[in-house]
Chains A and B, each alone.
Chain A
Amino acid sequence: MATNSNYIHEWWLQRISAVIIAAYVLLVLALLLVSGAPNAAQWQALFAHGGFKLATLLALIAIAYHGLIGALHVWPDYVKNRALLAVLNAYSWLAAAATVLWAVYILFGLNPVSK
């Protein structure tokens, strides 16, 4: 976040990631509204579906990025203590990275969903 052109890229990426997240959220909310609360078999079958796995991974990557950029912009507006700000920024980076890695593990490394 150093140059003006980076801000333009960030501005666009924040909106592109928002569209990806919104599409996924609306899909899941529509599924829940139509079929109601799923049981274990239905829920796990949904996440065993290849297409839904991919959509979930894409959405979680978008969420990690969108959340990271949002957090990095919001913290300094309210947190004036530089040490605390550094902690919050570091946590934001770690949480975003962990989200992506953990999402891959849950979707592709976890039995029984990934088998």
Chain B
Amino acid sequence: MAKPESAILPKARPRPEFRNLGLGDLARYRLPIPGLTSISHRLSGIAMFVALLFLLALLQMSLRSEAGFEAFRTMIWGNPVGKLVLIALLFALIFHLLAGVRHVIQEADIWMTLPASRASAFAVFGVSIVLTLLVVWRLW
């Protein structure tokens, strides 16, 4: 006679269940990496859209005169907060681009298995971090 399944299999760790996710649950909720890529694609896009007019102001400042360019270099790029914000936006840009490429590839029914989806999501994070560091290193 077959034993009940629970007697054969090792006792599985009880998995947390989330029915209606509240703010307090977010700390315990571990989004799978493809999901993290998806929400980060949205977040990076919104961040860049919100920063767009601010970035145009900086572009105008840098192009108006030599003094304007130097003011950008010393007051914005030379300021730790300014530098941090611009580096974050650079990461958002590179990440958003690569996540977008992955998204379009998946629309063509490629990388749709779980391992491929996970691997490509990891790759998007890895490559965008490396590329960001490379550009920052060249501009520092």
Contacts and interface: CB of A to CB of B under 8 A. Distances in A.
A108 to B, nearest CB: 12
User: Is chain B's binding surface mostly helix, strand, loop or mixed?
Assistant: helix
B69 A74 contact: no
Interface residues of B, number: 29
A102 interface: yes
A44 B56 CA distance: 15
A113 B68 CA distance: 12
Interface stretch (B2-10, B11-19, B23-31, B44-52): B44-52
A67 B42 CA distance: 11
Interface in B94-140: 94, 97, 100-101, 104, 131, 134-135, 138-140
Interface string B60-75: 1011111001100000
A71 B47 CA distance: 10
Contacts of B70: 40
A25 B89 CA distance: 13
B88 interface: no
Contacts, number: 76
A1 to B, nearest CB: 17
A85 B76 CA distance: 32
Nearest to A91: B50
A7 interface: no
A18 B46 contact: no
B56 A102 contact: yes
B93 A67 contact: no
B48 A67 contact: yes
Nearest to A35: B138
Nearest to A44: B63
Interface string A27-58: 00100110011011101100100000000000
Given A74-B42, A102-B53, 8 more contacts: A18-B104, A36-B139, A44-B62, A67-B45, A71-B45, A74-B45, A92-B49, A99-B52
30 contacts: A18-B100, A18-B104, A22-B97, A29-B131, A29-B135, A32-B138, A33-B134, A36-B139, A37-B140, A40-B66, A40-B70, A43-B69, A44-B66, A44-B69, A63-B52, A64-B52, A67-B48, A67-B49, A67-B52, A70-B42, A70-B46, A71-B46, A71-B49, A74-B46, A95-B52, A95-B53, A102-B56, A102-B60, A110-B64, A111-B64
